């Protein structure tokens, strides 16, 4: 395990360095001069010169990258052009919101998709298999923003059960927080649940036809033990990979869903930063997102050891 972890870290660290170089390099190709934006409407030449020196804009590109990555290693992601706030403070402010939304959506997706995929594979060719496949196709085909608007019309406008939009911190009012996050989490979770269902069904069908499953049945083991203990555990390996990617996508910010429900998370932060040409915020958010993806892939690799004993040898 330790040797495998060291090998994975030796691969992931250079990947993260390359991603940071790509983020910084592509950012420099965008139009606009941060010094002119910060200088305001008057654009005093002395102020512009001071800002260029302060932001190291008069330095070569490798030198600017060295300054930026040095600040990143010290926890300094730069400063927002619009609000003059440190980017790290903005990230720490928005990250818990998206983290809660993403985890709630992920739990909903697992709770729906995993059991549906298992039952669909066990009852292959039955009416349940047809029904779950149709629901999965509907979940994949339905746009999140359209489903969100329908849920708002039903549960907020007509029934009045849930708030239509907004966000309340769980530390202020937990009940109001859960009521505000339930619909957006369900909107995100249903689409991912369909993906989980299809992948779980496919993996279970392959495992159920394996020799060791037939041997377990020949020994007289109950069907529930065969499915849940022998088949499902081995079918989870590709699902873990999918789960890491989907969770990373959720934590990187669900742009449309956060816009529809007016949730101040990562998605809204990066959309506002792009429209305001706040390049430092865009760099910081994308770097944090890439780090989350890489970390989740590492955790997925480690999770393989827990579900597949063969990998431990």
CA–CA distance, 132 with 162 (Å, rounded to integer) = 28
Residue 18 lies in a domain: no
Q: Give me Rg for the CA atoms of the chain.
A: 24
User: Domain range spanning residue 170?
Assistant: 91-265
Percent of the chain residues topping a pLDDT of 70: 85
> CATH no. for residue 151?
1.10.3720.10
Residue 257 lies in a domain: yes
In tens, the pLDDT along 107-120 reads 888 888 888 888 88
CA–CA distance, 209 with 33 (Å, rounded to integer) = 61
Residue 211 lies in a domain: yes
Q: Tell me the pLDDT band of 268, cut-offs 50, 70 and 90.
A: confident
39-48, 144-153, 225-234: the lowest-pLDDT one: 39-48
Residue 160 lies in a domain: yes
Residue 84 lies in a domain: no
Q: Work out how many domains the chain is built from and give that number.
A: 1
Residue 25 lies in a domain: no
Residue 115 lies in a domain: yes
Q: Tell me the pLDDT band of 47, cut-offs 50, 70 and 90.
A: low
Mean pLDDT, rounded, for 212-221: 76
Residue 248 lies in a domain: yes
Q: Tell me the pLDDT band of 44, cut-offs 50, 70 and 90.
A: low
């Amino acid at each position: 395990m330790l040797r495998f972890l060291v090998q994975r870290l030796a691969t992931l660290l250079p990947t993260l360095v390359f991603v940071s170089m790509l983020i910084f390099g592509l950012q420099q190709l965008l139009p606009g001069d941060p010094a002119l934006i910060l200088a305001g409407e008057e654009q005093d030449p002395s102020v512009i010169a001071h800002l260029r020196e302060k932001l190291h804009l008069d330095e070569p590109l490798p030198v600017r990258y060295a300054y930026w990555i040095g600040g990143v290693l010290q926890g300094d992601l730069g400063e927002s052009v619009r609000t003059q706030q440190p980017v790290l403070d903005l990230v720490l402010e928005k990250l818990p919101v998206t983290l809660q939304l993403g985890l709630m959506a992920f739990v909903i997706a697992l709770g729906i998709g995993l059991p549906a995929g298992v039952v669909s594979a066990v009852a292959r060719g039955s009416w349940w298999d047809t029904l779950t496949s149709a629901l999965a196709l509907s979940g994949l085909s339905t746009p999140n923003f359209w489903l969100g608007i329908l849920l708002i019309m039903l549960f907020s406008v007509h029934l009045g059960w849930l708030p239509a939009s907004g966000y309340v911190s769980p530390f202020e009012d937990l009940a109001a927080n859960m009521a505000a996050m339930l619909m957006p989490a369900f909107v995100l979770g249903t689409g991912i649940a369909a993906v989980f269902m299809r992948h779980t069904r496919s993996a279970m069908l392959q495992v159920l036809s394996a020799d060791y499953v037939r041997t377990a049945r020949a020994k007289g083991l109950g069907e529930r033990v065969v499915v849940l203990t022998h088949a499902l555990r081995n079918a989870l390996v590709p699902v873990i990979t999918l789960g890491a990617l989907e969770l990373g996508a959720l934590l990187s910010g669900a742009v449309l869903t956060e816009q529809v429900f007016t949730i101040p998370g990562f998605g809204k932060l990066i959309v506002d930063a792009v429209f305001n040409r706040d390049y430092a915020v865009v760099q910081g958010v994308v770097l944090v997102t890439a780090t989350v993806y890489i970390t989740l892939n590492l955790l997925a690799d480690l999770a393989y050891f827990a579900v597949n004993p063969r990998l431990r040898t």
